[in-house]
Amino acid sequence: MKQNWKPGNLLNPTPVVMLSCGLPGEKPNIITLAWVGTVCSEPPMLSVSIRKERFSHRIVKESGEFVVNLVPAALTKACDFCGVRSGRDLDKFQTLGLTAEKAPNLTQAPLIAECPVNLECRVEQVLELGSHDMFIGRIVGVQVDDTLLDGKGALKLDRANLVVYSHGEYFRPGSLLGRFGYSVRKK
């Protein structure tokens, strides 16, 4: 038997990321986001949905830039902190001992040096959906820690130990269940 629930967003699991943003003359900020999605391959684009009342909202809107920093398990606590404290009240980079580093392909938003993968984005569109504004970002640069590359230069993303989020809880991905196309591959 299924229960017929009222509409709600139970799409799970989701990524959880630390978005870094900045404006000239202001301290840079970090906001944790789970309403994040891959939306286009060519050109590469992603979406982030941010409530208007977030301190970061104005920064992203005015600068037209942000960096999506992927979160390794070791930074789970920092990630949670950036999702429960506001840049209005404190400097999250300083409090957490994180490094705001110049993003090579952007002019205003810094990247978080301690995150192993940084997606540098320029805002292409803002859609006012309701509770959240959805920013569609074009990925204009990708920074990857070289410890994630094997001897042939192939990306081994499993080495990053990235966190996933599900219904209020953070998880480390578990065991490998299969590879792309394995259901039809001949032995």
C-beta of 144: minimal distance to ligand FMN in Å?
24
59-98 binders of ligand FMN (CB under 6 A): 80, 83-88
Which CB atom, from 58 or from 159, has the smaller least distance to ligand FMN? Answer: 58
Closer residue to ligand FMN, CB minimum distance, 56 or 69: 56
Which H helix or E strand runs over 120? strand 117-128
H helices of 20-158, in order, are 55-63, 76-82, 92-96
Sign of the four-CA dihedral 12, 140, 122, 127: negative
Nearer to ligand FMN, 35 or 144 (CB): 35
Nearest to 64 by CA among 11, 2, 126, 14: 126
165 near ligand FMN, judged by CB under 6 A: yes
Interface residue with ligand FMN among 49, 76, 95, 161 (CB under 6 A) is 49
Taking CA atoms, 58 is separated from 66, 69, 88, in Å, by 12, 19, 12
Q: Indicate the DSSP class of residue 7.
A: P
Closer by beta carbon to ligand FMN, 29 or else 143 = 29
Q: Which of helix, strand or coil describes residue 173?
A: coil
Regarding 100 and contact with ligand FMN (CB under 6 A), the answer is no
Residue 82 DSSP class: H
Please tell me the count of residues contacting ligand FMN according to CB under 6 A: 22
Answer for which of 23, 26, 44, 55 binds ligand FMN (CB under 6 A) is 55
Map the footprint of ligand FMN across residues 120-159, applying CB under 6 A: 132
- The answer to whether the beta carbons of residues 51 and 33 sit under 8 Å apart is no
- Radius of gyration of the chain, Cα coordinates, nearest whole angstrom: 17
The 5-44 contact track toward ligand FMN, x by CB under 6 A, reads: -----------x------------x-xxxxx---------
List residues near ligand FMN by CB under 6 A: 16, 29, 31-35, 49-51, 54-56, 80, 83-88, 132, 165
